[in-house]
């Protein structure tokens, strides 16, 4: 089985470092970038299986990034992380069809659980039952 590639997008170095450490320990291949622009550049050049995106970032925020991704890569699953889990933020990102929302700060097991939950959903989508 090929290693899953995850892109972590957050302007907070502590968050990207800890996500990378936690997810690599679980056997994932992890890349990190600090902005929406860098994320779009990375996605154009590399194939990722999953994105972990922060909402609040300078210049272009996570909402902007998610809109761009849904426009160009509609099947790429996104887990949103936010230190501002307001109802407005949650409903904004849910309208964009995100796979999972995880409020910051989160524990390592919460991050791992979210990622595995999305992977399970991806597998169900890729292998629909009852075909034929």
Computed over every residue of the chain, the mean pLDDT equals 91
The domain 5-126 is placed in CATH, from the list 3.40.50.1820, 3.40.50.2300, 3.30.420.40, 3.40.50.720, at 3.40.50.2300
Residue 1 has pLDDT above 70, yes or no: no
Q: What pLDDT score does 28 carry?
A: 97
* 3-state DSSP percent of the chain in helix, strand and coil, to 5: 45, 20, 35
**Alpha helix stretches (DSSP H) within 5-86:** 13-25, 36-45, 62-72
Q: What is the mean pLDDT of residues 9-26?
A: 97
Give 125's pLDDT tier (boundaries 50, 70, 90). confident
Q: What pLDDT score does 131 carry?
A: 47
User: Regarding predicted confidence, which is higher, 2 or 35?
Assistant: 35
Give 85's pLDDT tier (boundaries 50, 70, 90). confident
Cα separation of 21 and 50, whole Å?
16
Instruction: Give the global pTM.
Output: 0.91
Give 41's pLDDT tier (boundaries 50, 70, 90). very high
């Amino acid at each position: 089985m090929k290693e899953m590639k995850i892109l972590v997008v957050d302007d907070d170095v502590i968050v990207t470092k800890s996500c990378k450490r936690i997810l690599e320990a679980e056997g994932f291949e992890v890349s990190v970038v600090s902005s929406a622009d860098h994320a779009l550049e990375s996605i154009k050049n590399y194939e990722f299986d999953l994105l972990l995106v922060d909402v609040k970032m300078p210049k272009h925020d996570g909402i902007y990034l998610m809109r761009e991704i849904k426009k160009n890569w509609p099947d790429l699953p996104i887990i949103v992380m936010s230190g501002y889990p307001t109802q407005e933020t949650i409903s904004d990102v849910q309208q964009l069809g995100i796979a999972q929302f995880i409020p910051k700060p989160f524990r390592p097991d919460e991050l791992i659980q979210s990622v595995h939950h999305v992977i399970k959903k991806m597998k169900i989508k890729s292998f629909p039952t009852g075909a034929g």
